[in-house]
Chain A
Amino acid sequence: GESVGLHLPTLSVQEGDNSIINCAYSNSASDYFIWYKQESGKGPQFIIDIRSNMDKRQGQRVTVLLNKTVKHLSLQIAATQPGDSAVYFCAETSNAGGTSYGKLTFGQGTILTVHP
Chain B
Amino acid sequence: GAGVSQTPSNKVTEKGKYVELRCDPISGHTALYWYRQSLGQGPEFLIYFQGTGAADDSGLPNDRFFAVRPEGSVSTLKIQRTERGDSAVYLCASSLKGYNSPLHFGNGTRLTVT
A/B interface sample: 12 pairs, CB < 8 A = A7-B40, A34-B102, A43-B105, A46-B103, A89-B43, A101-B55, A101-B56, A101-B98, A102-B33, A102-B93, A103-B33, A109-B40
- Which bucket holds chain A's interface residue count? 20 to 34
The answer for the CA separation of A105 and B45 in the assembled complex, in Å, is 7
Chain A 68-95 interface 0/1 with B at a Cβ cutoff of 8 Å (1 = within): 0000000000000000000001010001
Q: Which of B52-109 contact A (CB under 8 A)?
A: 55-56, 59, 91, 93, 95, 98-108
CB within 8 Å for A49 and B43 given contacts A101-B50, A102-B95: no
Q: List the B side residues contacting A95 at CB < 8 Å.
A: 99-100
Cβ of B99 and Cβ of A41 under 8 Å apart? no
| Interface check A62, CB cutoff 8 A | no
The reply to whether the CB of A27 lies closer than 8 angstroms to some CB of chain B is: no
Chain A interface residues (CB < 8 Å from chain B): 5-8, 32, 34, 36, 41-46, 49, 51, 89, 91, 95, 99-109
Q: Which residues of the partner chain B approach A101 to less than 8 Å between Cβ atoms? A: 31, 48, 50, 55-56, 95, 98-99
A6 touches B40 (CB 8 A): yes
- Does B21 sit at the interface, judged by CB under 8 A? no
Residues of A within 8 A of B4 (CB): 43
Instruction: Among B55, B98, B103, B106, point to the contact of A104 (Cβ < 8 A).
Output: B103
Interface size class of B (residues with CB under 8 A): 20 to 34
- Which residue of chain A is the closest to B100 with respect to CB atoms? A32
Asked if B45 contacts A46 (CB within 8 A), the reply is no
Known contacts A106-B43, A108-B42, A46 near B56 by CB under 8 Å: no
Residue of A nearest to B39 (CB): A6
In the A-B complex, the 3 residue pairs with the closest CB atoms: A106-B42, A43-B105, A6-B40
Given the known interface contacts A5-B40, A103-B45, A109-B42, the answer about A49 and B102 at a Cβ–Cβ threshold of 8 Å is yes
Which residues does chain B contribute within 8 Å of A6, judged by CB atoms?
A: 39-40
4 other A-B residue contacts (CB within 8 Å) besides A100-B99, A101-B56: A7-B40, A34-B103, A89-B42, A89-B43
- B42 contacts A103, CB within 8 Å? no
